[in-house]
Every structure is written in structure tokens, then in C-alpha cells.
Amino acid sequence: MNDAGSQIFRDRTEAGRLLASELGRFVNRPNVLILALPRGGVPVAFEIALALHAPLDVLLVRKLGVPGQEELAMGAIASGSVRILQSDVVSALGIPPSVIETVTTQEMRELARRERAIRGDRPTPQIRNREIILVDDGMATGSTMYAAVASLKQQHPEGITVAVPVAARKVCDEFRSAVDEAICLRTPESFLAVGLCYEMFPQLTDEKVREFLRKAEEFHASPTSGQSVRVS
């Protein structure tokens, strides 16, 4: 299941289809819900939702970037006022609590804005007693995924499966004790960034995310032809 090879994915669509092949036991199970971490996890999760004939929705998470080194995560927040801190990063860089609180406040505001932009009038999905498959396009530090898992556990799902195409090996191993199952297709020895594991790794707009959600909803309502709901 965990391929440590050096191959890269063509794009998120290919990654999602390959990941779906590892999740066949969930096909047509009525309590399954696919949740994607926007934005990059949505095209991956879209392919899984089509393959499993399961509904697709999103779980909003925001990385807490270190000021001046925003790509470096010192933690993450998720819907439900959940915050996870990377204590090793905070300690190593000596980041004071006041800075953490300032960044958290800014990202909470942005999370609320994106929730409105992506979800609009869509009702939030029912999590309790559902079998959740939580999807992203990859995991480097795992901080955003940890925040997502913490948010979900507050809502008492039946089970949580984390599914990603690629992850740092140590992070994937850690998740195996945090959720019911962690599926990482590839865990390369040298893992610098998720984007380097894809030939094509475009940024997605909120409108594109809404389109994926609309198309998945159409297919789930009438799963006659996956081809008819492809997102260009």
C-alpha cells in the first residue's frame, strides 16, 4: 500500500484514481462521507467520491505559518475552533505566545471568509456516526491534517480514514495511531514538498472548488456516467 518509490503523479486526478483503488471496501456504503481539505485535496477527493459512489464535502483548515517564513507551519486551525500547534517548531524558533495568538486570529478570520466563499449556502455535513474518509493531496508536517482530525473527533464519527497520495514517511506512520487507518500511496525517502511529487500542480480557485462540489453532488444524485461530471 505504501510505495516508497520515486515516481511522481501526473496530476491530482491521477493521484485520486490511484488512491480510490485502495478504498474499494467503501464502495456503495451508505454512511461513507468523503471530506477534502481545500483546496488541493478537492480534485483528489473528487475522484474517490466518484469511484466509491459517496458524497463529497470539504473540511476547512488553515495553516499557521511562521511570520516571515509563512511556508513553515507552526500549527493549524480547523472549523470548530480547533487549533493544533507544532511544539517542536514553536520551541526551536522561540515563537512567543503573543505571535501565535496574532497569527491565529488572522487565520481564523480567513478561515471564516473561505468557509463562506466555498460553502456558500451549503449545509454543513452530518459527521456523527459517519465513516469519514479525509483526503488531501499530500502531507509534509501533517499539522493541517491533525487539526482536521481533531475537529472531526469532536463530532463523533463512526470512523476516520486518512487517505493521501504522498506523505513524509514519519508523518504517515504517526497517523496510524491517530485514526482508524492511514493510507499513503507513496512515502519517498527524500520528501521536500508536496508540489514536487506532481508533474502538474496548479493552484485552485474557490470557484473551481465549488465546481468540483457541484459536479460530485450531481453524480451522487444520479451516478449514471462518471464521464458526464468531469471537471475541466
- Whether 5 has a pLDDT exceeding 50, the answer reads no
Q: Average pLDDT, stretch 40-47? A: 98
Task: Read off φ and ψ for residue 87, nearest 5 degrees.
Answer: -60, -30
Q: Does pLDDT of 226 surpass 50? A: no
Nearest CA-CA partner of 128 in 104, 108, 154: 154
| Position 116 in a domain | no
- pLDDT band per the 50, 70, 90 thresholds, residue 2: very low
Q: What is the mean pLDDT of the chain?
A: 90
Residue 117 resides in a domain: no
Please count the structural domains in the chain: 1
CA gap 186, 6 in Å, rounded: 8
**Does residue 145 fall inside a structural domain?**
yes
Q: Which residues lie across from 32 on neighbouring strands?
A: 131
168 domain-assigned: yes
Count of all residues that appear for the chain in the document? 232
Top-ranked range on mean pLDDT: pick from 19-23, 147-151, 226-230: 19-23
Q: Which residue has the higher pLDDT, 74 or 225?
A: 74
pLDDT for 221 beyond 90? no
- In this prediction, residues 45-56 reach a mean pLDDT of 97
Q: Is the peptide bond before 39 cis (omega within 30 degrees of 0)?
A: yes
pLDDT reading at 12 higher than 70: yes
Q: Which domain holds residue 32?
A: 12-59+127-229
In a domain, 50, yes or no: yes
Binned at pLDDT 50, 70 and 90, residue 31 comes out as very high
Does 41 reside within a domain?
A: yes
Largest CA distance in the chain: 55
pLDDT band at residue 186 using 50, 70 and 90 as cut-offs: very high
Question: What integer is the mean pLDDT of 93-117?
Answer: 94
Tell whether 91 is covered by a domain.
Answer: no
Q: What pLDDT is stored for residue 230 in this prediction? A: 65
Burial group, residue 169, by CB count within 10 angstroms (0-12, 13-18, 19+): middle
Apex 112 CA angle, 108 and 117, nearest 5: 145
Range from 36-45, 114-123, 148-157 that averages highest in pLDDT = 36-45
Cα 191 from chain centroid? 18
pLDDT at position 232 = 60
The CATH number of whichever domain residue 167 belongs to comes to: 3.40.50.2020
Which of 181, 176, 72, 194 lies closest to 140, judged by CA?
194
Rounded Cα–Cα distance for residues 146 and 61 (Å)? 10
